[in-house]
Chain A
């Protein structure tokens, strides 16, 4: 830092969020304060996935303040671990904001879209909302290993994707909830339970990190977020220039690539290698377990070479 004072617009200043002082120090901020709008909570339960997905897509077009859904798999996983969510094929929670007149209009549209769904009171909707944020990860104990996959999809593809996931994940305990929606797209959080105590079962489940994103790609979607699984998909998530920019930032702030070496934008693991590993995990989970066990006993010098090849460094 050389002490230069920059005047940033709201979009530029977003880059500072979460940087914890590494990029600069905020010396002055101008905030615009809005009056808190009125809110209404609406909650609907659908008897079929099709009806729920269609309603979700139509409601998302209204751009409500908040929109969330659970599929039946997620509801049942959560309820098995002590939650009390309404059991249905699909439940949807919407929070509306605005003036009384705006809320009345949104309400009327919502009622029209959700005709045929079971409708709950404002109080029940608020309870449901509160519980959705209290439940966290307790259902993980049912696994006890939880594998999470994240997909961002065009809203219109939701039903097809859920259909394909149903075939792929037959035999697993799994469920889906939304992480939010914007501009006609929806982010899915897919929970898959497995058991790391049994390497064969575990590696087979981990190999799903291959076909699940592929389902997303087939439906104009993508994975999102940074994780070990997503490193190989980086080129599909961001443009080449965006990846270059992120790598440049990472190289400046962490020149030795010590922080999360294989997990961030600097992963050099070639995608075909990742695909091969996924196939090996699916078809030969026992052999994969053996390979992992051998890798654990490798001398540090070999691990260092491996990490160097993939962009990391071990100290």
Chain B
């Protein structure tokens, strides 16, 4: 049950300037898939800002409906790219969620998520001992190997094929790498979304301790959410890359090649965490274009203007998440795509629900999953 909320002075100071800068023009709605699907003004950044402004004047609490709406924000930053005032609603959201987490007045679902992630080290409530099951024989913890593959919770527990595909590519390329398996913890992205920085730091520190022990310098992540978190919340000395960036680098260096064509019309889905939040737009596209036979299509709204699939709502409102994803699937189908290629397991899972919701048959694959059957080690040219 969501309760009304009164922001503290610290939060008010943090967000005040942005709130009053809002011109109420409503351009934020063009980038907001929650508004586009739900259709209520209260789920738009503009609606939330109007309510927050009244609250910080001390005239009223933030009503429960608006608090609920703040948790329905995908934090995709789609509003920011459309805002003429460049208001960063994600930062406003983070400040309020942080305040609510500190006061222990999180909505029920978010409280459960916080408890699960901080106690179990993953958002699914799965035992830590089962995290490395997918890794089985490939769990590698060799000190001194600079490269680490960070599988993340989704690939470790649910979408194992992604993790196994990444390992297959790295093995084909003949690159030494570590996989943390059972020693890996959630990157802490869900806790940062909930707003609990203190509990997030505990998980981050646990992961850093393993990175240090393995003398890791480069981390490759297949999940866009992990990639963004590793890039922004972890020390810079652990150079974080998304797998598509690393695969492109390996391909250019000649570490592997394609042994057969993959004749498909593929549309690349710009995940928000890899795109707007981390600024990686071109490498995944360049890599997909390099696959022989692939015709790469584009959404009308792509790169920084791309519209979120609704994935972050999976833990709060699975039906709304699927409805949002259904729109992205319809857009892809209208472009003639045979496959949607994602850079993130959350996008992949949610788009699959969206395809079901829309009643559209379309293949939805995370990029590494495309590769195992079509790559091979590049044979050195004969002297």
Residues of A within 8 A of B (CB): 136-138, 140-141, 143-146, 196-197, 293, 296
Contact = CB atoms under 8 A, between A and B. Distances in A.
Contact of B21 (A144, A293, A296): A144
Contact of B25 (A137, A197, A296): A137
Interface in B76-101: 84-86
Contact of B85 (A141, A196, A293, A296): A141
B23 interface: yes
A231 B114 CA distance: 51
Interface of B: 17, 20-21, 23, 25, 57, 59, 84-86
Given A141-B85, A145-B20, A196-B20, 11 more contacts: A136-B84, A136-B85, A138-B84, A138-B86, A140-B21, A141-B17, A141-B21, A144-B17, A144-B20, A144-B21, A296-B59
A145 to B, nearest CB: 7
B84 A137 contact: yes
A138 B84 CA distance: 6
B233 to A, nearest CB: 28
A137 B23 contact: yes
Dominant SS at the B interface? Answer: loop
Nearest to A134: B84
Contacts of A197: 20, 57
Contacts of B17: 141, 144
B20 to A, nearest CB: 4
Nearest to A195: B20
Residue of A140, A143, A196, A293 contacting most chain B CB atoms (<10 Å): A140
Query: Closest 5 CB pairs between A and B?
Result: A136-B84, A144-B20, A141-B21, A137-B84, A144-B21
A278 to B, nearest CB: 22
Nearest to B56: A197
A140 B85 contact: yes
Given A144-B20, A145-B20, A137 B85 contact: yes
A196 B84 CA distance: 20
Nearest to B86: A138
Nearest to A197: B20
A293 B54 CA distance: 12
A136 B84 CA distance: 6
A90 B335 CA distance: 48
A202 B85 CA distance: 20
A136 B81 CA distance: 13
A293 B60 CA distance: 12
12 contacts: A136-B84, A137-B84, A137-B85, A138-B85, A140-B23, A141-B21, A144-B17, A146-B23, A196-B20, A197-B20, A197-B57, A293-B59
Contacts of A141: 17, 21, 85
Contacts of B20: 143-145, 196-197
Contacts of B84: 136-138
Nearest to A82: B86
Nearest to A297: B59
A273 to B, nearest CB: 25
Nearest to B84: A136
A140 B17 CA distance: 11
Of the listed residues B17, B23, B25, B59, the one surrounded by the most CB atoms of chain A closer than 10 A to its CB is B23
A266 B20 CA distance: 30
A185 B84 CA distance: 29
Contacts of B23: 137, 140, 146
A296 B57 CA distance: 13
A122 B17 CA distance: 39
A146 B57 CA distance: 18
A197 B19 CA distance: 11
Contacts of A143: 20
Contacts of B21: 140-141, 144
B84 to A, nearest CB: 4
B327 to A, nearest CB: 20
Contacts of A144: 17, 20-21
A137 B21 CA distance: 10
A303 to B, nearest CB: 16
B68 to A, nearest CB: 22
A136 B86 CA distance: 11
Nearest to B20: A144
A138 B59 CA distance: 28
A131 to B, nearest CB: 14
A143 B23 CA distance: 11
A174 B64 CA distance: 39
A143 B20 CA distance: 9
